[in-house]
Amino acid sequence: MERIASFLPAPEPIPLPAPVWLLQTLLFVTFVLHIIPMNMTLGGLVILARSEMSGRASEPMRRWITGYLPVTVAFTVTTGVAPLLFLQVLYGQLFFPAAVIIAWAWFAVIIALLLGYYGIYAYALASDKLGRWKGWVIIGSTVLFLYVAFAFNNVITLMSTPFRWWELWQERNPSVHFNLNIWEPTLFPRFGHFVLGAVAVAGLIAALYGAFLHRKGEEAGKELVKNGVPWFVGATVLNYFVGAVFLFTHEQAVWRTFIGGDMLATVLLWGGVVLSVIALVFAVIGRRVERPFNFVVIATVLTLLSIVAMAGVKFMVRSLLIARHAPLFNLKDVPVQPQWGIIALFVVLLLAGLWTVAWMLLQLQRAYAKKGQTA
Ligand code: HEM
């Protein structure tokens, strides 16, 4: 049954500073930029926590993930700010009420991020001092960051189902206001899908780094490839199942769009799946052959393309849900008054920022290489 929100907060009186298509594009691009370090962080944490729990950590894998985590957390947070701004500008009418309604659950993201980040630093830089608590510290950080991802899933699902707002605010949990959106059937499959995707990407990037090292003649590289590929393959294969559950827990009108209802939607979803299958094949071959470099690089490029396609699917699902459940909200009706000077300045600063980041990464890589670490 289609459930429609009959009320929404009034739109911002200030017109949008750029055309809707441009803001949407920037939201899309910056979200893809966010998801890559986020996957390395979240997936790397899950892999580390798992090896601490089993006590069977591969040393090169542990050193590689521990080495990059402090850097990728910083990137996750800073690349998260940009899509957050575009999301608020475009969908403020839906996003702010959703964040306000989950209330403490949203505020707790900041606390979880801070504590989780401390834990990562302690594990990475003062591992000896932590002694037997070392494993628990990284497991704690993993749980906290999983919570951050879950909180985002809550707010993003709630913003496109405004008919639940009143229900959650008034009826479900009126005294505590820690209102997770757990009555949303897509919530847990969505969370599972993102976490498995993160583990897969972290495994693949470990294999990629290993392939680079191996090409330079370092033996540890081969072990990274050997350990990283199974994480990529295992998590991706599981995700075919979880992803299917995620799709079909959406209402029929939405999932039908992706199985032939709309050409672009169908091509994006199944194109993304096919790319990931081919990536799996290349990764598996890369693990078996003497010279894995080319195979792992191809698997990585295909996976990146698959991520872009899946991000497109995510954006389409949002539009479909909003059109169904919040017809009062229509981006076509929002007043726009482009400020081209400021947009040009933004583009220049964005490019300069990206260039600076690339330069910083290069310096970091050189510093690690000098210290002779497998970082
Ligand atoms: C390590 C911490 C983080 C993790 C694990 C994480 C994880 C995620 C996940 C799983 C999603 C997808 C949510 C969904 O579609 O249901 C997401 C989206 C998003 N994240 Fe992050 N995130 C982190 C930090 C941040 C921070 C600090 C910010 C902002 C400052 C941020 C901004 C965003 C935004 C704006 C989106 C939604 C984009 C959209 O739907 O268009 N994230 N994040």
34 close to ligand 1 (CB < 6 Angstrom) = yes
**In whole angstroms, how far apart are CA 340 and each of 19, 88, 336, 363?**
10, 20, 12, 34
Tens-place pLDDT, residues 67-90: 999 999 999 999 999 999 999 999
In the predicted structure, residue 270 carries a pLDDT above the cut 50: yes
Pocket test for ligand 1, best of 38, 313, 319 (most atoms within 8 A of CB): 38
Tens-place pLDDT, residues 89-146: 999 999 999 999 999 999 999 999 999 999 999 999 998 898 889 999 999 999 999 9
Q: Map tokens 């930029």 to a residue.
A: 33
41 close to ligand 1 (CB < 6 Angstrom) = yes
> For 63-67, which contacts have Cβ atoms below 8 Å and span 24 or more sequence positions?
63/373, 63/374, 63/375, 64/206, 64/209, 64/210, 64/224, 64/374, 64/375, 65/202, 65/206, 66/123, 66/124, 66/127, 67/124, 67/368, 67/373, 67/374, 67/375
Question: Which amino acid is residue 308, in one-letter code?
Answer: V
Nearest CA to ligand 1 atom 17: 152
Q: How far is the CA of 139 from the centre of ligand 1 (A)?
A: 20
Beta bridge partners of 16: 336
Q: How far apart are CA 337 and CA 216, in angstroms?
A: 53
Q: How far apart are CA 223 and CA 61, in angstroms?
A: 8
Tens-place pLDDT, residues 357-371: 899 989 988 887 777
Q: Map tokens 């389409």 to a residue.
A: 316
87 close to ligand 1 (CB < 6 Angstrom) = yes
At residue 1, the pLDDT reads 56
Q: How far apart are CA 2 and CA 152, in angstroms?
A: 24
Q: Which of 43, 34, 35, 33 is nearest to 145 (CA)?
A: 43
Q: Which of 11-20, 69-78, 345-354 has the highest mean pLDDT?
A: 69-78
Which atom of ligand 1 lies closest to the CA of 86? 35
In the predicted structure, residue 293 carries a pLDDT above the cut 50: yes
Nearest CA to ligand 1 atom 31: 80
| 283, 299 contact by CB (below 8 A) | yes
Q: What residue segments make up the domains of the chain, in order of their start?
A: 13-184, 185-327
Which atom of ligand 1 lies closest to the CA of 73? 1
Nearest CA to ligand 1 atom 33: 80
75 close to ligand 1 (CB < 6 Angstrom) = no
Question: Which amino acid is residue 291, in one-letter code?
Answer: R
Nearest CA to ligand 1 atom 1: 145
What is the pTM assigned to this prediction? 0.94
Pocket test for ligand 1, best of 88, 152, 156 (most atoms within 8 A of CB): 152
Q: How far is the CA of 80 from the centre of ligand 1 (A)?
A: 6
At residue 174, the pLDDT reads 65
In the predicted structure, residue 375 carries a pLDDT above the cut 50: no
